[in-house]
Structure 1
């Protein structure tokens, strides 16, 4: 994996929350009301197993705000997209292995995109490190503790310190047809950071394996590191003690 590389200016002021409206991707459990409406376009299984990398949605058409929040992959897997408090950020791999990060993207199209809207957040501060393999269970436990729907789709942020962070930005030009997740990571600009301070933005769902989470995983996160001018998909990370997990307020 390459270490973090210089990219274009990335000035992210507030890392807030989500954008919804319209249909919901999954209904809430009867005993726990959903705090945000989540919509998804495209599907990981169709991208990876059927080669369906064409446009599934125009990003500007489904990010009306206020407080829009989303993550996804651009059409033809040309890069990544992250929406942070209505600001659309796109990240592309250059031929020389660096990144081109742009504060624009409303006209872009995505092959996979998950979007929601959150008016208010509630926080939980982690009292111990959470290794990568335990993040799904920790987020689910926090949802249940706060009476939120742990069965449907929920937007999540994590702010604070991270360790052993591995990230990538897909470069579809280097991807052979029919490549799996490991092939997608190899066909990318990628990096590892032993320690970092920033924000993860993403979604939790137990119902969307192969749609917007990988099989066997309940979360899909992107990382935003303003001081390192970096935005990309998270492959693995440890959440450090003291980091704050943000969930939609009821």
Structure 2
């Protein structure tokens, strides 16, 4: 191996390290796989020291619903009554596991085409991030804004009889929408399966309606021939 080759490898390693060092750090408290049957509360959102430009997500309390923090605004949703949901804002909430990052500014990219699954979203985010020099070995937050033909999202419900909102045999409620505008808030990681992403994927995605009247965990999407704005953390 000659000197130029060695120098090139050193420089590539340095710039890769520099890039990851400049990315907003992603923090994970607790883990999806460790919730067990007690859903112990490991994260108190009010203890996060820097809330400005905070983005984050996790279950609300002991599976009482969903939490999504968007640019320092803490939304939480519950669905205790059949066919109904409630969305509110408060920092005085807790979670069994929570992932978050402070993102002060974003790079905006345009993506076009179809979304027919959450897997499609994962692929689109990874492709655009890689094409623009992002290190996919590092976890990062992202946003996608646009208009969606049809989608469904769920809000988890309590599994313990002593928890407010418990209904026997009901673990979540799914809600469907057509021709709706809003944004997907997500986290991408290839190394946190079972922590804040499911074991079969690299993304955890929540949907927040444009008017903030609904928020939940994205399950399904069917959208064709649309243009979307993808937001990745500014390096």
Partner residue in 2 for 1:211: 195
CA offset at residue 162 of structure 1?
Answer: 1.9
Deviations 1:88-109 (A, max 9, x none): 11111223441121121x1111
Partner residue in 2 for 1:61: 47
CA offset at residue 246 of structure 1?
Answer: 0.4
Figure out how many residues of one structure are paired with residues of the other and give that number: 211
**C-alpha separation between the residues in 2 aligned to 1:52 and 1:145?**
42
**C-alpha separation between the residues in 2 aligned to 1:63 and 1:226?**
27
Confirm or deny: 8 A CA contact 1:42 1:56 kept in the other structure. Answer: yes
**C-alpha separation between the residues in 1 aligned to 2:220 and 2:131?**
25
Partner residue in 2 for 1:75: 61
For residue 125 of structure 1, the aligned residue among 110, 117, 125 is 110
CA offset at residue 124 of structure 1?
Answer: 1.2
Partner residue in 1 for 2:204: 220
For residue 164 of structure 1, the aligned residue among 150, 153, 159 is 150
Describe the shift of the 1:52–1:74 C-alpha distance in structure 2 as closer, same or farther (beyond 3 A). Answer: same
Describe the shift of the 1:83–1:139 C-alpha distance in structure 2 as closer, same or farther (beyond 3 A). Answer: same
Runs of 4+ in 1 over 3 A off after TM superposition: 28-32
TM-score by length of structure 2 reads 0.82
Confirm or deny: 8 A CA contact 2:106 2:233 kept in the other structure. Answer: yes
For residue 194 of structure 1, the aligned residue among 139, 160, 178 is 178
Structure 1 or 2: larger strand share?
2
CA offset at residue 63 of structure 1?
Answer: 5.7
Which structure has the larger Rg over C-alpha atoms?
Answer: 2
Gap regions ≥5 residues in structure 2: 1-14, 162-168
Residues 142-153 of structure 1 correspond to what in structure 2 (within 5 A)? 142-153=128-139
**RMSD of the TM alignment (CA)?**
2.3
Q: Aligned pair 1:246/2:234, yes or no?
A: no
Describe the shift of the 1:150–1:66 C-alpha distance in structure 2 as closer, same or farther (beyond 3 A). Answer: same
**C-alpha separation between the residues in 1 aligned to 2:57 and 2:178?**
24
TM-score by length of structure 1 reads 0.77
